Amino acid sequence: MKKTTTKLADGRELIYYDSDESAERGAPDLRGLESVESRPEIRRDAATGDWITVASHRQGRVHLPPADECPLCPSRDARLSEIPAGDYEVTVFENRFPSLSCEAGRCEVVCFTPDHGASFSDLTPARVRLVLDAWADRTERLSSLPGVEQVYCFENRGAEIGVTLAHPHGQIYAFPFATPRTAKMIAAADAHRAATGRNLFEDLLASERADAHRVVLAGEYWTAFVPYAARWPYEVHLYPHRRVPDLTRLTEAERAEFPGIYLELLRRFDRLFVEPGQSAQAFPTPYISAWHQAPRTGGAELALHLELFTIRRTAGKLKFLAGVESGMDAFVNDVMPEVAARRLRGVAS
């Protein structure tokens, strides 16, 4: 992997990741950009202990521009974008409208492909491997920054999820705190260790693999399953068989197997709600794909895993977080996890 680091016109960092060691990425950013005034605040909710980010400057960010004005496409034909090069494989750059600032974390954008009309599931295994290596590289780099407690790599796909740019991309947040969901998992894992002397996530994975009713897909190094108490209508967790804290600790064999497993999962998600006569490409499933990694402190029991879920519960209906979920953080699932697993096994390639 070749890594080329440069600066955008307003001083933000941009990194090109290439599989071709001879790739030249020296094109300068010719835009006359002014820096965006961004002063997010991190506030703690005294009633719950949760950290809340206030980022009012994000109201002015670009929202679903037409394809010929996409800021994530390469700069071509005198149309200048966030990516100065005329082509690229994978790029990462600092978000122009970050939820977190350099004083309190960092936000980055990850572009998976220059193809505006593609989805992650359209990528080749080689490109997915390059993305995985970029995620791991950014995890290592961001984790070393002063004040960063947890690195979170994720993708939002689909207007229903709330994406503001249609180009296939993800994001990386370097939080100055451990997120509330992570804190809950750490507490559960610590309690499990105290009660049993074992690791919660190792036991959880072993139980799912032994029972197999909710296993969707399994390889030599990874297993994907619908969790017993899934919150979302279709939710899959993907674990490496060997417990590691973060992406940087994956072996070459684990990294090599990941692209095929993950691409198959994404393609199955796209086939879940296809009606007769429709193609999966014409009716893509909105989803969130979220990597859970151990924070810098207090996360020794946490295991790296990916959670993939959709808010679509049937072909024409979404799962809204209404009064019970939004008001009380108490999820009600519309689909039995065992049924969801069976359906996901039934739409295999």
Query: What are the phi and psi torsion angles at 250 (to 5°)?
Result: -70, 140
Question: What letter would DSSP give residue 146?
Answer: T
| pLDDT in single tens digits along all 349 residues of the chain | 999 999 999 999 999 999 999 999 989 999 999 887 778 889 999 999 999 999 877 766 777 899 999 999 999 988 999 999 999 999 999 999 899 986 778 999 999 999 999 999 999 999 999 999 999 999 999 999 999 999 999 999 999 999 999 999 999 999 999 999 999 999 999 999 999 999 999 999 999 999 999 999 999 999 999 999 999 999 999 999 999 999 999 999 999 999 999 999 999 999 999 877 677 666 799 999 999 999 999 999 999 999 999 999 998 899 999 999 999 999 999 999 999 999 999 999 8
Angle of the 200-211 helix axis to the 180-196 helix axis, nearest 10 = 80
Query: What are the phi and psi torsion angles at 336 (to 5°)?
Result: -65, 130
Q: Which residue has the tokens 């006569």?
A: 277
Neighbours of 269 (CB within 10 A): 25
Nearest of 139, 193, 185 to residue 307 by alpha carbon: 185
- Please confirm, yes or no, whether 241 is among the known catalytic residues: no
CATH number among 3.40.50.2000, 3.30.365.10, 3.30.428.10, 3.40.50.300, domain 2-175? 3.30.428.10
- Which of the following is catalytic: 167, 169, 237, 305? 169
Let me know if the fold of 2-175 is the same as that of 180-346: yes
Pairwise CA distance, residues 187 & 142, whole Å: 24
Domain positions in the chain: 2-175, 180-346
| CATH code for residues 180-346 | 3.30.428.10
